[in-house]
Chains A and B, each alone.
Chain A
């Protein structure tokens, strides 16, 4: 067994052995999304252009989730629906599953993952469900996605995670909710729930910084996050209290800052979000972040420099990605929209599919 420090360094230094196909060879998509075709009930992984055009549609074995895209190879990781124990690496030129990641004994995936900046490693959020400890699994993307090891996620229920722009740390949203596969998605620890945002060193896995909501927002599960080029993190939350409570669902943080900056709004506007933010993304300025609520059919965007939030309504809207002009958003009836910084919306397409929760941008603009 290699030491934690050693395997991290070893893997990062390992050369790529096989010639791999680039995203250009997969039709140069700008975005990835998982979707369901209602007529057939089949699930697919879609490659999309920012114009709304589909460049590939590849079959998935089940409801796929939150594909992580390799930075330059045409490879996407699709996770089984939570609490899933496997993930497939799909080669996007032909749809072949070139690797299957199986969670180690006693672990399941939480449905999100991210590649290291050089594409050498894949990190996945996992639940060591007998103890409830959150883990980040580490896989060698340059050697057939072999598992290298794991580190603590810094909390319970790690969900989404991202790399800081300098690649030196991972930032993980630990939702704080303990689940066990024997009871599906049942929440086992709401009375003690303590979500946090943890920054983990990519060199040795050490916990560098950690921040959580104030006591009154303790039931706000930190779930999805986005990182701007400045290193600013936007974290989207899901409220475990009454959906009508109208609590804030977005917070900002920078590594080292003493606390979270909460995105406030009128309680009735927040209540329309139904306590649920599904996706979060910055716009290219890196000072505006938006969250989507499929349950409330509403998108809200805040500028960290101040001012009232912008609003846009669209039923079942959930997928959200940074785009050169603002954001792109998808919904559960195949709608594909461009959103301006003030959330003025322009429909680009309506596909005959139901887009799943997330829209993954292959290139960063924020």
Chain B
């Protein structure tokens, strides 16, 4: 028996160091999510500052820059989608996606026509349909198929302001919640009285599922669905295509997932495992660079499908690398029940 174990230890490349320190993972998770939440709160505050309700007061260029910066900051936070992001469905209030039925477009154009949103009442507006708020609604207000929309319609300008205020509120709530009750839950994982995380490894598990789920979502909604079939690609369902962010969204998502995995889980993994994640991340970045060299994502879906398919494979490769290293390295497994339907 001892002999067999000994052989197994020699023959199997070790992916794990000694016992993983889940408490340390929880601490790094909190640090990372706190920093990303602060970044998002600062970016939405800046966006809000650039979105006055009166059209004449808007500097369109500054507004656009801050719109992109705020969305970028959201993409850095979004893969850590639990706690305050799930409470009150804040993640969906901020970014209603995937929107397979195209509800956002219909909701926004209906609102512009009927002009019946409670734009001057932030609390009523914040209780309205998620399709009328958040980044995807804001994108519809700022861009159409031809590019940026001139901000001259008073209702549109007030609507933009209301969405910016709403995003800023949500960002502040998230930051406050991580600084408050959710931060305590994570930092006291496994302690008596913690009803959310019954053991320290539950934070590791939650984060791991969130990161891999986020990549799964990118593969499905940002790559596979717009790719459609070879005969019939669907460039019009590429995410955030009106504001030209389709490829950027994929880049930001994979970067955020990769960096969270390396920063938070990395110290518990063997150098070989870290190298495997880094290599998979580099392959995604190479593929993104290839695509950037030939154009924007919605167009490339038609002109060079193969390159987009390769990107999909590389993102899948990153997810496989995470599953092959983090799971065994931290002694955590993905859902026993979710993986096997009944």
Contacts of B336 in A (CB 8 A): 36, 316, 332-333, 354-356
Q: How many residues of A contact B (CB 8 A)?
A: 39
Chain B 321-342 near chain A by CB (<8 Å), digits 1 or 0: 0000000000001011110111
Q: How many residues of B contact A (CB 8 A)?
A: 22
One of B5-13, B110-118, B197-205 contacting the partner: B197-205
In the bound complex, CA of A325 to CA of B89 (Å): 28
Asked if A245 contacts B335 (CB within 8 A), the reply is: no
Task: Select which of A63, A269, A316 is within 8 A of B338 by beta carbon.
Answer: A316
The residue on A at minimum CB distance from B131 is A268
Chain B 194-212 near chain A by CB (<8 Å), digits 1 or 0: 0100110010011001000
In the bound complex, CA of A335 to CA of B335 (Å): 12
Asked if A346 contacts B100 (CB within 8 A), the reply is: no
Contacts of B340 in A (CB 8 A): 63
Asked if A269 contacts B89 (CB within 8 A), the reply is: yes
Contacts of B100 in A (CB 8 A): 242, 244-245
Asked if B337 contacts A350 (CB within 8 A), the reply is: no
Contacts of B198 in A (CB 8 A): 335, 347, 350
In the bound complex, CA of A121 to CA of B202 (Å): 43
Asked if A278 contacts B337 (CB within 8 A), the reply is: yes
Asked if B195 contacts A346 (CB within 8 A), the reply is: yes
Asked if B92 contacts A333 (CB within 8 A), the reply is: no
Chain B 49-90 near chain A by CB (<8 Å), digits 1 or 0: 000000000000000000000000000000000000010010
Counting CB contacts under 8 A, is A318 at the interface? yes
Task: Select which of B130, B199, B205, B342 is within 8 A of A278 by beta carbon.
Answer: B342
Asked if B337 contacts A318 (CB within 8 A), the reply is: yes
Which residues of A (197-247) have their CB < 8 Å from a CB of B? 223, 238, 242, 244-245
Contacts of A297 in B (CB 8 A): 209, 338
Task: Select which of B92, B195, B335 is within 8 A of A295 by beta carbon.
Answer: B335
In the bound complex, CA of A185 to CA of B100 (Å): 27
Counting CB contacts under 8 A, is A82 at the interface? yes
In the bound complex, CA of A200 to CA of B180 (Å): 55
Asked if B98 contacts A244 (CB within 8 A), the reply is: yes
Counting CB contacts under 8 A, is A276 at the interface? yes
Task: Select which of A38, A185, A347 is within 8 A of B333 by beta carbon.
Answer: A38
Asked if B342 contacts A357 (CB within 8 A), the reply is: yes
Task: Select which of B92, B335, B342 is within 8 A of A111 by beta carbon.
Answer: B342
Counting CB contacts under 8 A, is B96 at the interface? yes
The residue on B at minimum CB distance from A223 is B342
The residue on A at minimum CB distance from B210 is A315
Name the distance in Å between A44's Cβ and chain B's nearest Cβ: 13
The residue on A at minimum CB distance from B194 is A347
Asked if A315 contacts B342 (CB within 8 A), the reply is: no
In the bound complex, CA of A278 to CA of B198 (Å): 22
Which residues of B (196-236) have their CB < 8 Å from a CB of A? 198-199, 202, 205-206, 209
Asked if B338 contacts A332 (CB within 8 A), the reply is: yes
Interface residues of B (CB under 8 A from A): 86, 89, 92, 96, 98, 100, 130, 195, 198-199, 202, 205-206, 209, 333, 335-338, 340-342
